[in-house]
Amino acid sequence: ERVKERAVHPSEVPFRSSSQALL
């Protein structure tokens, strides 16, 4: 499901990556 979300929301891909990096 996450893979599909990235394709649908490419703008959120870098945003989520930053959130994971902070965690």
Q: How many residues does the structure list for the chain?
A: 23
- For the entire predicted model, the pTM comes to 0.16
Number of Cβ within 10 Å of residue 3's Cβ equals 7
Residue 7 has a pLDDT of 57
Per-position pLDDT tens, the chain of length 23:
566 555 555 556 666 666 665 55
Measured CA to CA, the distance from residue 22 to residue 12 in angstroms comes to 15
Residue 20 has a pLDDT of 62
Amino acid, res. 2: R
